């Protein structure tokens, strides 16, 4: 398949959609990003890389980081985790308080903010130096060393993260949080602030297209069954209250972040990442979704 040509076509065809969304501004440090950025990269299981646009520029990965921390938690305690966090699509915004109250402090899934905070609480049972270990894990998956936290973004989020503070306090009152709240929020804001490019993101999730095996070294990241489940969670919960529409339009497991990034996985084929900072009102990248929709339409590659 001529991926190079397909990416070039997509890059042309998404142009009319600039201006339809808005750059996230509830995290002040994210508001300054140039809305016209657009990058895309895909890596195949044969280790071929195709890219276009701003594919090597780093941006704030935000909630895409929830995939990495969930993966690390699954490596530690697979069964126990699911007693504390659910597995159903939320149908609600990623920071919904109402739903958490109805469900008595058990988050619907690990990709809404409340769920990601519980995942970090679980990780803190196992990691000695969580921030360093999370960063090392991401670097190892991406195959590069120069991936860092963006401390300005982490600080900005911490200063304005009142809803996340409310979510975690509420879960604590239901005894679903065991470590100090400040410590968990600190790890959460740092993991969200990680800056990566489309090329790095696509490389980092290629193991999910390879049944849990890292491509180069054949190192096992997750058991095949766990990788299948992680893909299932991405498909059903990766886009919050737009997960159904993403599955309908694109048809692959994926994860978005309010930095405008999206990573998608096509099992046994490839991993793909796209970045465009303008978001729709679900907090997902407008052009990112459009680009992936065009990609699966043009290539016929999807899980359906």
Query: Whole-number minimum distance, CB 24 to ligand GLN, in Å?
Result: 8
Query: Whole-number minimum distance, CB 295 to ligand GLN, in Å?
Result: 22
Retrieve residue 48's tokens.
């071929």
Nearer of residues 81 and 237 to ligand GLN, judged by Cβ:
237
Contact set with ligand GLN (CB under 6 A)? 62-63, 94-95, 113, 157, 164, 192, 257-258, 283
Check the CA dihedral 46-201-65-186 and report its sign. positive
Nearer of residues 212 and 261 to ligand GLN, judged by Cβ:
261
Q: How far apart are CA 260 and CA 39, in angstroms?
A: 10
Query: Whole-number minimum distance, CB 46 to ligand GLN, in Å?
Result: 31
Query: Whole-number minimum distance, CB 128 to ligand GLN, in Å?
Result: 24
Nearer of residues 166 and 301 to ligand GLN, judged by Cβ:
166
Reduce the DSSP state of residue 30 to 3 states and report it: helix
Nearer of residues 69 and 164 to ligand GLN, judged by Cβ:
164
Query: Whole-number minimum distance, CB 50 to ligand GLN, in Å?
Result: 26
Retrieve residue 6's tokens.
């397909």
Reduce the DSSP state of residue 21 to 3 states and report it: coil
Nearer of residues 98 and 304 to ligand GLN, judged by Cβ:
98
Q: How far apart are CA 246 and CA 236, in angstroms?
A: 9
Retrieve residue 269's tokens.
């084929």
Query: Whole-number minimum distance, CB 12 to ligand GLN, in Å?
Result: 28
Q: Which residues does 30 contact at the CB level (< 8 Å), separation at least 6?
A: 23, 24, 60, 62, 153, 156, 258, 259
Nearer of residues 59 and 94 to ligand GLN, judged by Cβ:
94
Q: Output the CA–CA distances (angstroms, integers) from residue 194 to 40, 90, 187, 261, in the order listed.
A: 18, 25, 11, 12
Query: Whole-number minimum distance, CB 171 to ligand GLN, in Å?
Result: 14
Do residues 263 and 245 touch, judged by C-beta distance below 8 A? no
Reduce the DSSP state of residue 51 to 3 states and report it: strand
Do residues 69 and 123 touch, judged by C-beta distance below 8 A? yes
Q: How far apart are CA 299 and CA 228, in angstroms?
A: 22
Nearer of residues 95 and 302 to ligand GLN, judged by Cβ:
95
Nearer of residues 150 and 200 to ligand GLN, judged by Cβ:
150
Q: Among all chains, which residue has been given the structure tokens 């941006």?
A: 59
**Nearest position to ligand GLN, beta carbon:** 63
Query: Whole-number minimum distance, CB 9 to ligand GLN, in Å?
Result: 28
Q: What are the beta bridge partners of residue 52?
A: 40
Reduce the DSSP state of residue 180 to 3 states and report it: coil
Q: How far apart are CA 21 and CA 276, in angstroms?
A: 10
């Amino acid at each position: 398949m001529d991926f190079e040509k397909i990416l070039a076509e997509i890059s042309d065809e998404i142009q009319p959609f600039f201006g339809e969304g808005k750059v996230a501004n509830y995290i002040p440090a994210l508001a300054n990003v140039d809305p016209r950025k657009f990058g895309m990269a895909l890596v195949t299981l044969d280790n071929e890389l195709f890219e276009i646009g701003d594919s090597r520029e780093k941006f704030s990965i935000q909630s895409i980081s929830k995939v990495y921390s969930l993966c690390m938690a699954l490596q530690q305690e697979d069964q126990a985790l699911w007693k504390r966090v659910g597995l159903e699509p939320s149908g609600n915004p990623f920071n919904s308080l109402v739903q958490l109250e109805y469900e008595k402090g058990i988050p619907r899934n690990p990709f809404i903010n409340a769920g990601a905070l519980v995942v970090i609480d679980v990780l803190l049972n196992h990691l000695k130096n969580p921030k360093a270990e999370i960063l090392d894990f991401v670097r190892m998956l991406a195959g590069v060393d120069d991936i860092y936290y963006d401390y300005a973004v982490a600080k900005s989020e911490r200063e304005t993260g009142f809803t996340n503070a409310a979510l975690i306090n509420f879960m604590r009152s239901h005894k679903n949080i065991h470590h100090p709240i400040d410590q968990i929020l600190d790890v959460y804001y740092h993991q969200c602030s990680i800056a990566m490019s489309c090329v790095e993101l696509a490389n980092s999730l290629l193991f999910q297209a390879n049944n849990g095996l890292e491509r180069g070294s054949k190192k096992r990241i997750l058991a095949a069954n766990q990788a299948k489940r992680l893909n299932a969670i991405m498909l059903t919960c990766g886009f919050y209250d737009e997960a159904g529409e993403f599955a309908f339009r694109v048809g692959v497991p994926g994860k978005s972040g309010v930095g405008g990034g999206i990573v998608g996985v096509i099992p046994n084929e490839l991993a793909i990442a796209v970045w465009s900072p303008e978001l729709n009102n679900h907090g997902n990248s407008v052009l990112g979704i459009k680009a992936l929709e065009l990609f699966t339409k043009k290539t016929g590659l999807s899980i359906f």
